[in-house]
Structures are given as structure tokens and as C-alpha cells.
């Protein structure tokens, strides 16, 4: 026969879940700690999109046809680089050819009229009319040439920038003044962050701002508030907050998450989950003579899983951190520390004859 004593920890578990559990049946188990004062940062979170301060839509003041497009949306370019070939419209080519034909015929008529005049078969008036027809045809031809309607023009970049939109396709026939593409200058950009109107009183110029690009691999940017909008954007229903953005630090169209550090909240620091809310407002529980006592509080602010509250908190009484969802004001409660201490006392006071033994038979 082999006799062996179970480990002391196993005895402790038996006591905790046996008689001890029966004694506290119906009493909620809560986790507590001493109230602590402290602070958490007052962070206002918003989102925004970088925009260029110089956005230009390019077009030609004549009818024409798109011969070739040399860039795509999102392409970056340098000043002077070709972006698009703009050729003559078929109608303009036909009109120019007609003008050249009309001039050639008018010149032939003028030459024949001079010959007839020499033969006394035409009058001076007829000669002048023929000369005027040549002049008119010449002017029409020169007009087409000066307008450039019969030549291919190249749309060149007016600055360093990026293509944000292309409104045409290769081969399209477009009217005079029709938009071809939209360009945004990258040297001068701006960023406005949208925040809730209720937060506007906490924001002022000069506050530090942390920017986090939503593009993969985007690097964080530390900057500050430049100005606060005085009206609500009708599209987003948010108030725009302008932040300082240095040249070439971001691309037009890039999305950012912004954290505006407006200060800090100071008061009693508690886990966010320890604060409950009902019709009367926010509240927490403290332990008063092994009973839960409700304390109404005002939540000043939160950061992550931590909240800062103010209220009639007694610094000498434990604050309930978890388990408050299962108790009400005045309920009897037990703490984890008290339960462990009671179990330990039972183990220390157990008689030797009460030890649990285990027997096994070896054949």
C-alpha cells in the first residue's frame, strides 16, 4: 500500500469550492483596488484628405481631337513635361482645305479678269471685285492658321505636380474650352481635419498634432494646429481644423488620421469598464463594510481602456474594478483577496486527521 498526501494547493482548491463556496453562495465576487488620482491625455481624433493649394483644369480654346494621352491619373510630372497631344478637329481640317481651295479659285478668277480687262472685255469694277475675293479668301486661310486649329498642339505641365483627373480619351473630339485634365501642384498642399462640433471649444491654434498616414508604409508626421473653422461643413457635418503641412510632406489625395493633443483630464483614474451608466447617469461602486455603495460620477474623458472621473469618491474605501454588472447599491459583496484569505485560514486550521489521503493497490 502506498500512501501519499495531496499537495497543499489542491487542498486549498477543495476548500475554496467546497464549504467556503457554500458560505458565500449568492454574494457577488468583485475585484477592487484603492482609488487613485491621475490624468490621461485629452486626445481629439479626426480624419482628413490632403489637397493641393493650386488645382488647375487645362483645356484649349478651340475645337480639336485628342491625338494621344501621355499620362495617367496619379502620375507625377515635372514642369514642362508633355501631358497630351491635341490635334485638329476633322471639321477644322475640312474648313481649312476649303479655305485654301477658295483662295486658289479666287486667284485664278483675278488673273482671268485682268486678261479680259486688257482685251477690253471686262470692267474695272469686275477686276476690283475679283481682287476683293482673293483678299477675303486669303484672310480666311490665315485665320485658320493663326488659330492653330489645323496643327497639333502639346499640352505641357505648368508646374511640378500630379494628375488628379483625365476627362477625355484618346480619339475624342472636344469642343473649345472643354476640360481635358486636372492637375494639382505638389509643392503647395494643405490639410483640414474634420472634428465633431462639440469638440471645437477644446481646439485652438498651436496645439500639437500627430498625423498618421492611412497609406501602407506612410511615415508619421508631427505638426500643429494652424486654424479652426468657424462653420460646419454641410457635406460632412464636421468642423474643419487646418493643420500646418510643410511642402512635399504629403501627396494630394493622401488620407490621414490626426490626433490633436488638447491637454489632459485630471481626476480619479479608473478602468473604462468599471463605470456603469443608467437613467440617472454614470456611477461606480465602492466597498463600504462589505457592501456595495453607489457613487454618482462625471466622466471627464477617456483614453483607450482608461477613464478619468470626478465625484464623491472616498479615498479610504476600495473601488470596484470588475463585477459591478452583477451588483446593485447595498448588495453584500466579497473580494478576491478576502476569499483567498478565508481559504488560507481554513487550511491552516485543518486537523491532521482531516487530511485527504489517497490509497492505491499495487498488484
Looking at per-residue pLDDT, the higher value among 153 and 258 belongs to 258
Grade residue 349 by pLDDT with cuts at 50, 70 and 90. Answer: low
Rounded to whole angstroms, how far apart are CA atoms 289 and 331?
A: 11
Rounded to whole angstroms, how far apart are CA atoms 84 and 174?
A: 13
CB 52 within 8 A of CB 189: yes
Inter-CA distances, 9 with 179, 219, 316, 360, Å: 82, 52, 33, 21
Grade residue 342 by pLDDT with cuts at 50, 70 and 90. Answer: low
Q: Is the pLDDT of residue 180 over 80?
A: yes
Q: Is the pLDDT of residue 324 over 80?
A: no
pLDDT attached to residue 82: 95
What is 136-154 written as a DSSP string? HHHHHHHHHHHHTTTS-EE
CB 297 within 8 A of CB 319: no
Lowest mean pLDDT among 34-38, 90-94, 146-150: 146-150
Q: Is the pLDDT of residue 115 over 70?
A: yes
The CATH class for the domain spanning 55-89+151-185 reads mainly beta
Instruction: Count the Cβ atoms, other than its own, within 10 Å of residue 93.
Output: 15
Q: Is the pLDDT of residue 331 over 60?
A: yes
Rounded to whole angstroms, how far apart are CA atoms 21 and 27?
A: 10
Looking at per-residue pLDDT, the higher value among 83 and 324 belongs to 83
Grade residue 3 by pLDDT with cuts at 50, 70 and 90. Answer: very low
pLDDT attached to residue 343: 60
pLDDT digits (tens, 9 = 90+) for 242-257: 999 887 788 888 999 9
Instruction: Give the residue-averaged pLDDT of 91-100.
Output: 81
Inter-CA distances, 174 with 63, 88, 315, Å: 6, 10, 78
pLDDT digits (tens, 9 = 90+) for 43-70: 999 999 999 889 999 999 888 899 999 9
What is the residue-averaged pLDDT of the chain? 84
Rounded to whole angstroms, how far apart are CA atoms 113 and 135?
A: 15
Handedness of CA 314, 320, 325, 331 (dihedral sign): negative
Instruction: Give the residue-averaged pLDDT of 73-83.
Output: 93
Alpha-carbon radius of gyration of the chain: 43
- Phi-psi label, residue 300: left if phi above 0, alpha if psi -120 to 50, beta otherwise: alpha
Rounded to whole angstroms, how far apart are CA atoms 136 and 14?
A: 116
Handedness of CA 262, 268, 271, 274 (dihedral sign): negative
Q: Is the pLDDT of residue 5 over 90?
A: no
Report the CATH architecture of 90-147: Orthogonal Bundle (1.10)
Grade residue 2 by pLDDT with cuts at 50, 70 and 90. Answer: very low
Rounded to whole angstroms, how far apart are CA atoms 287 and 80?
A: 76
Grade residue 338 by pLDDT with cuts at 50, 70 and 90. Answer: low
pLDDT attached to residue 182: 95
Domain ranges of the chain: 2-40+266-354, 55-89+151-185, 90-147
What is 2-40+266-354's CATH number? 2.40.420.20
**Any alpha helices (H) in the chain, and if so which ranges?**
8-17, 19-23, 90-118, 124-147, 336-348
Do the domains at 55-89+151-185 and 90-147 have one common CATH topology? no
Amino acid at each position: 500500500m502506498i500512501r501519499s498526501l495531496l499537495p497543499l494547493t489542491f487542498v486549498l482548491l477543495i476548500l475554496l469550492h467546497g464549504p467556503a463556496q457554500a458560505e458565500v453562495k449568492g454574494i457577488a465576487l468583485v475585484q477592487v483596488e484603492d482609488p487613485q488620482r491621475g490624468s490621461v491625455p485629452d486626445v481629439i481624433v479626426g480624419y482628413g484628405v490632403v489637397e493641393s493649394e493650386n488645382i488647375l483644369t487645362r483645356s484649349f480654346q478651340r475645337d480639336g481631337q485628342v491625338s494621344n494621352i501621355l499620362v495617367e491619373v496619379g502620375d507625377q510630372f515635372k514642369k514642362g513635361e508633355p501631358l497630351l497631344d491635341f490635334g485638329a478637329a476633322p471639321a477644322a481640317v475640312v474648313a481649312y482645305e476649303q479655305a485654301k481651295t477658295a483662295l486658289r479659285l479666287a486667284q485664278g478668277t483675278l488673273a482671268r479678269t485682268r486678261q479680259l480687262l486688257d482685251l477690253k472685255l471686262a470692267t474695272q469694277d469686275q477686276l476690283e471685285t475679283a481682287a476683293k475675293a482673293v483678299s477675303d479668301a486669303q484672310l480666311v486661310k490665315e485665320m485658320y492658321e493663326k488659330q492653330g486649329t489645323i496643327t497639333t498642339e502639346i499640352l505641357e505641365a505648368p508646374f511640378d505636380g500630379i494628375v488628379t483627373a483625365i476627362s477625355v480619351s484618346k480619339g475624342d473630339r472636344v469642343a473649345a474650352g472643354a476640360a481635358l485634365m486636372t492637375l494639382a501642384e505638389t509643392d503647395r498642399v494643405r490639410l483640414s481635419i474634420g472634428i465633431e462640433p462639440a469638440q471645437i471649444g477644446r481646439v485652438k491654434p498651436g496645439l500639437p498634432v500627430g498625423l498618421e498616414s492611412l497609406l501602407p508604409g506612410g511615415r508619421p508626421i508631427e505638426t500643429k494646429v494652424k486654424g479652426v473653422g468657424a462653420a460646419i461643413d454641410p457635406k460632412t457635418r464636421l468642423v474643419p481644423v487646418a493643420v500646418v503641412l510643410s511642402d512635399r510632406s504629403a501627396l494630394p489625395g493622401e488620407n490621414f488620421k490626426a490626433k490633436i493633443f488638447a491637454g489632459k483630464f485630471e481626476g480619479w483614474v479608473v478602468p473604462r469598464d468599471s463605470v456603469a451608466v443608467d437613467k440617472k447617469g454614470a456611477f461606480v461602486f465602492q466597498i463600504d463594510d462589505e457592501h456595495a455603495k453607489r457613487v454618482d460620477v462625471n466622466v471627464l474623458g477617456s483614453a483607450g481602456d482608461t477613464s478619468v472621473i470626478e465625484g464623491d469618491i472616498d479615498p479610504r474605501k476600495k473601488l470596484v474594478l470588475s463585477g459591478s454588472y452583477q451588483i446593485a447599491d447595498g448588495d453584500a459583496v466579497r473580494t478576491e483577496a478576502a476569499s483567498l484569505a478565508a481559504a488560507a485560514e481554513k487550511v491552516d486550521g485543518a486537523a491532521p486527521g482531516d487530511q485527504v489521503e489517497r490509497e492505491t493497490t499495487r498488484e
